[in-house]
């Protein structure tokens, strides 16, 4: 598969596919909360960015980030299994973090399933650190890890 990836803001016509990816790749065994209508609300919201990575005219991955006044929250990140380990997820995060910096946001938060060590390692490699464990976060039956990254500290470190 070609490594050429193009990034663009999601459109309403992408919502059903993004929701299905969330259901199948993220929300497995938890029920389906990121339905097409919820994805559409996020696409339409001025406080959210829904970013799509297209590869060979299909969606390889996507991310949804909420932008607050001083912090951002990565709500979802999904990459198709056959597109993983090719930098798609990392590049989605980098695009969103760059946007957060331009918006004057200093910290990005995210939650991930505590039982997903692969995701934890992925985020740690990007500079995220575990800040707390949230018992029963997912449907009252599965714990989450909250992670955060201080974008300003990361930028200052790179500048020196």
61-78 residue pLDDT tens: 999 999 999 999 999 999
DSSP state of 61: E
DSSP 85-110: TTTHHHHHHHHHHHHHHHTT--EEEE
Cβ contact 145:128 at 8 Å: no
Question: Which domains does the chain show, CATH number per domain?
Answer: 6-159 (3.40.630.30)
CA–CA distance, 52 with 10 (Å, rounded to integer): 6
Share of the chain above pLDDT 70, in %: 94
DSSP state of 70: S
- Describe the crossing of helices 88-102 and 151-159 by its angle, rounded to 10 degrees: 90
State which H helix or E strand residue 20 sits in: helix 15-21
CA–CA distance, 60 with 76 (Å, rounded to integer): 14
Q: What is the pLDDT of residue 154?
A: 65
When pLDDT is averaged across residues 90-112 and rounded to a whole number, the result is 97
């Amino acid at each position: 598969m070609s490594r050429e990836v193009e990034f663009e803001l999601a459109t309403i016509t992408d919502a059903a596919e993004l929701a299905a990816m969330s259901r199948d790749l993220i929300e497995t065994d938890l029920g389906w909360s990121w339905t097409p209508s919820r994805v559409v609300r996020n696409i339409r919201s001025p406080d959210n960015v829904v970013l799509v990575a297209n590869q060979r005219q299909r969606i390889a991955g996507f991310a949804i980030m909420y932008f607050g006044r001083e912090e951002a929250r990565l709500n979802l990140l999904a990459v198709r299994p056959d597109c993983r380990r090719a930098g798609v997820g990392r590049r989605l995060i980098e695009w969103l973090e760059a946007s957060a910096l331009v918006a004057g946001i200093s910290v990005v938060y995210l939650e991930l399933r505590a039982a997903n060590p692969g995701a934890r390692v992925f985020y740690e490699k990007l500079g995220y650190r575990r800040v707390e464990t949230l018992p029963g976060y997912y449907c009252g039956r599965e714990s989450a890890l909250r992670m955060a990254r201080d974008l300003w500290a990361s930028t200052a470190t790179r500048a020196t």
